[in-house]
Amino acid sequence: MHPLLKKVFKAFQLLSAEEYMRALERGVAAAIEHERLLSSLDCGTIVDIGANRGQFALVARRCFPVSTIISFEPLGDPAAMFRRIFRGDERTILHEAAIGFLSEVRTMHVSRCDDSSSLLPISAVQTGIFPGTQEISTLDVRVAPLEEFVSAGDLVAPAMLKLDVQGFEYEALMGCESLLNYFSYVYCECSFLELYSGQRLAREVIDWLSARGFGLAGLYNPYYDRRGRAVQADLLFGRDGEDRGGSDEDPYLRYQLRPGTDGHR
């Protein structure tokens, strides 16, 4: 799809839902690229790690009106906007923290585009592919394992663990390991190039989850650079031996990583 047509189509979708329109009036565009997948699943709880301003949580709430959404966002300004958007929604909870293996204070590398901020240094590869995402400051943020905020009893099944943490996915997953058995799905943005210095790439995330009983079930929203290299995509994992959602007719679950398809940032 031509980029301009893609933007027009997204604008139409955003204007078609009242909750999306209200958020858009505050300058927050719902991440509607996730809607098709989420609407094919059944989730009682969504743990949303890397919530930013609530772009993903908006879509999750639309797809799962009565589910509990537990979100994590360590940056103050995006977290404040998230709270404004979800004010009055008692089933949506926000923790102003990041998830990692250890309880500690770490340096956040704040990007000019704050949803590209990371606990890892922003590399020249990132800024070359995505201009305007360079580091503008640093900030100390709280990092802790998921179990410090969420108990097994909070995870009403089926539960989804979503991660979009700009290169810190592997470490964040390690911080979720003690509760991983209580999730039916893991939905994780992964990179095929090192966009953040020291980040683990998609193959390592796939291997880590595979060793813990989660198989790759689908690839969504791939992004390619101008040279046709695969840069990143959203990967869905399901528990081995269980229904992983979707259907045999869903072309996204048969998707092969290849250049020439529309992606997203």
Q: How confident is the model at residue 240, as a pLDDT?
A: 79
* Share of residues in the chain with pLDDT > 90 (%): 82
Among the residue ranges 43-52, 161-170, 236-245, the one predicted with the least confidence is 236-245
How close are the terminal C-alpha atoms of the chain, in Å? Answer: 15
Q: Give pTM, 2 decimals.
A: 0.88
Query: If you average pLDDT over every residue of the chain, what do you get?
Result: 89
The CA radius of gyration of the chain, in Å to the nearest whole number, is: 17
User: Whole-angstrom Cα distance, residue 79 to residue 36?
Assistant: 26
Q: Which residues pair with 185 in a beta bridge?
A: 160, 238
pLDDT digits (tens, 9 = 90+) for 87-130: 999 999 999 999 999 999 999 999 999 999 999 999 999 999 99
Among the residue ranges 15-24, 26-35, 249-258, the one predicted with the least confidence is 249-258
Give the domain ranges of the chain: 3-254
Question: Mean pLDDT over residues 141-147, rounded?
Answer: 98
Strands 185-191 and 159-163: parallel
Superfamily in which the 3-254 domain is placed by CATH: Vaccinia Virus protein VP39 (3.40.50.150)
State how far the alpha carbon of 108 is from the alpha carbons of 116, 210, 231, in Å. 11, 29, 22
Q: How confident is the model at residue 2, as a pLDDT?
A: 44
Residue 254 has pLDDT above 70, yes or no: no
For residue 113, how many C-alpha atoms fall within 13 Å in the half-sphere facing its CB?
12
Question: Mean pLDDT over residues 219-244, rounded?
Answer: 90
Is residue 223 within 8 Å of 265, Cβ to Cβ? Answer: yes
219: which 2 tokens?
């690839």
Question: Residue 101: is it exposed, middle or buried by C-beta count within 10 angstroms (0-12/13-18/19+)?
Answer: middle
What's the pLDDT band for 19 if we cut at 50, 70, 90?
confident
